[in-house]
Amino acid sequence: MRQHLLEAADLDRADATLVLDTAAQIDAALAGREVKKLPTLRGRTVVNLFFEDSTRTRISFELAAKRLSADVINFAAKGSSVSKGESLKDTALTLEAMGADAIVIRHGASGAPHRLAHWVRGSVVNAGDGTHEHPTQALLDAYTIRRRLGRVDGVRVVITGDVLHSRVARSNVRLLHTLGAEVTLVAPPTLLPVGVETWPVQVSYDLDAALPEADVVMMLRVQAERMNASFFPSAREYSRRYGLDARRMATLSDDAIVMHPGPMNRGMEIAADVADSARSTIVEQVGNGVSVRMAVLYLLLGGAPE
Amino acid sequence: MALPSDQSPAQPDPTAPSALMGADDVARSVDRMAHQLIERAAATTPGAPDGGLSGLVLIGIPTRGAPLARRLAARIEAFTGTRVDVGTVDITLYRDDLRMHGVRALESTLLPEAGIDGRLVVLVDDVLFSGRSVRAALDALRDLGRPRAVQLAVLVDRGHRELPIRADLVGKNVPTARSQKVSVHLSEVDGEDGVTVTEGPALPALPPDPTPA
C-alpha cells in the first residue's frame, strides 16, 4: 500500500484485494466477541478532520480507529479556529505538530486531501472531497458485494442517480473496474459529468432496461445541497423515471442486491419498502464500513514508519 | 576413530540448510505429543467419561501452528476415537514488533463453535524461540474468552527465550546459536515434512566470561 489513500486509483488490484481480505480477517477475528478491541495501533493518533457534515463516515472512522486502540481526535470545522479564518495548511501543520500519525479528511473542495498530503508527514485518508472521490466508501461497497455475491470479478453493477455530483460514483467506478466488475451508469443526461464517455463504463438513460441484467443496483442520493440548477423538472418526475420502487425491484434477478451509500431520501431515489427489503444491504454497508476502515488504518499505520 | 575419506563430505557449504528432523521424525513427534495430550486431558479432568477430551481445544498459531494443531487432533482421534476441537488464532494484530517490519498480511482466526471458555486450551506452534509469539497469542486469547487453563505445545524448542515462557509439550529440544535459523516444513504449507537449521551471518564473538571456572 502507498502512504496515503486519496482516491480509488491509488489501489491496484492486489492492494484493493489486500484491503478486502484484511477486512474479512478482522471481521472473523472480532466475530462473536464481547471485547471488540485490538491493541494494534496503541499509541498512534488518528485525527478526523471534517470540514463537511457527516454522520456515518465520521463515526465509522472513529469507531475503526478506537477498535484498533488508536487515540482519536475529532475535529469539526465548526467551533474551531477555522471559523476565525485559519487556512487548511495551518490547521494541518498544527495537527501534525501535535503528533497526528494519520489525518482522515472530509472537505467540500475537490482535491483538498491531495494538497494536505504534500504538507504533512503522516498518512492522509480521503473521507470525501467535494464531488471528486470517496475511496473508503467504494471499498466498503466492494466488500459488501463480495460478501453477498462471493465475488466482484464479472459482477454487473448498475449505478443510478446523480452521478454528476457523486464522489461515491467516481470512486466506485474506478475501484469496481479495477476489481473486474462491469459497471453501467444510469442517469438523466443532465446528471452525467462531461467526459463520462472516457470512463470504463456503459451509459444508459433507461433504468427499466438495465435492471433485469444487474447483479447489483447501487442507488445514489439526489444531493439537494448541490442542486443549484434545474437538472430535472421535478422530484416527482425524477422519482418516476429513476427511483427504485417495488415494481422495478420485482424485475431484478433473484440474487440481485440493492445498495445505497446513505443518507437516503426515502420516496425519492429509493422507496421505503425497497430500502427495508431483504435485498437491501444498506444497514450491512454501515457495519462493513467499520471493518474496511479498520483494514485501511491497519495497512497504512500497522507497519514500520517510512 | 577416523572415517574412510570417501564417506565424509568434500567441502561442506556452511550456508546450506542441514536436516534436523526428517518426515519420519516429525510424524513420530506428533504421535508422541498426541499421546501426551491425551494424558494431560485425562489428568486435568479425572474421572471424565471421555477422558477430558471434550474439554480440550487445540489452537494453532498461523502459519504452521495451524496445520500442526489439525494433525495433533487427527492423531488424537485415531488413538481414542474422540473428536477434539481445533481452531486458529492470528496474532498479527497483537504483535509487539509491528513497527519494526513492513505491514504484515493477516491470517485467519477461527474458533470452535463451543468457544474456549472454561476449557483446556493448548496453543500449538512450530518453533518456540523468543516467546514473543506466544505472549501475543496469550494476549489474543484474553480477548477471546476465559479458558480454564492454557498450555503450550511446540514441535521444536530452540531456546533463546526473551520472556519467562516455557512449553508444556516439546517435540524436540534443539540447542542452537541465536544467529541460526530453524525452519519447520509441513506438507500442508511447504509440500514436505522436515526441520532444517541454517547458519546465519557470523556474529561478533562474545567477550570472554570474566568469572573463572
pLDDT tens digit string along B98-115?
Answer: 888 888 899 999 999 999
Locate CATH 3.40.50.1370 in chain A. 8-132+286-302, 135-282
What would the CATH number be for the domain defined by A135-282? 3.40.50.1370
H or E segment and range at residue A57: helix A56-67
Q: Per the structure block, which three cell numbers stand in for B24?
A: 519420519
Inter-chain CB proximity B104 and A302 less than 8 Å: yes
Does the domain at residues A8-132+286-302 carry the CATH identifier 1.10.10.410?
no
**Closest A-chain CA to B102:** A303
Q: Give which of A1, A298, A300 to mutate to test B binding, by max B Cβ within 10 Å.
A: A298
A281 catalytic per annotation: no
The answer, yes or no, to whether residue B152 has pLDDT greater than 70, is: yes
pLDDT at position A221 is 92
- Greater confidence (A162 vs B3) lies with A162
Ordered mean pLDDT values, 10 residues apiece, chain A (306 residues): 93 97 94 87 94 91 97 85 81 89 95 95 95 97 97 97 95 98 96 94 96 96 79 88 95 96 92 95 96 97 79
Q: A40 at the B interface (CB within 8 A)?
A: yes
Helix axes B65-80, B23-44, angle to 10 degrees: 70
What CA–CA distance (Å, rounded) separates B137 from B165? 12
pLDDT at position A181 is 97
Q: Give A-chain residues touching B104 at CB under 8 angstroms.
A: 302-303
Which residues of A, range 247-306, sit inside 8 Å of B by Cβ?
298-299, 302-305
CA of B195, closest CA in chain A: separation in Å? 29
Regarding an ipTM greater than 0.85, the answer is: no
Q: Cα torsion for A5, A150, B140, B31, to the nearest 10°?
A: -140
The answer, yes or no, to whether residue B7 has pLDDT greater than 60, is: no
Q: B109 at the A interface (CB within 8 A)?
A: yes
pLDDT at position B3 is 47
Nearest to B102 among A37, A40, A304 (CB): A304
CB A174 within 8 A of CB A142: no
DSSP A154-189: T-EEEEES--TT-HHHHHHHHHHHHTT-EEEEE--G
Inter-chain CB proximity A38 and B102 less than 8 Å: no
CB A112 within 8 A of CB A122: no
Inter-chain CB proximity A25 and B109 less than 8 Å: yes
Q: Is the pTM of this model over 0.90?
A: no
The answer, yes or no, to whether residue B1 has pLDDT greater than 70, is: no
Q: What is the mean pLDDT of residues B79-104?
A: 92
A57 catalytic per annotation: yes
Q: B108 at the A interface (CB within 8 A)?
A: yes
pLDDT at position B204 is 56
Q: Which domains does chain B have, with CATH numbers?
A: 19-43+51-95+105-199 (3.40.50.2020)
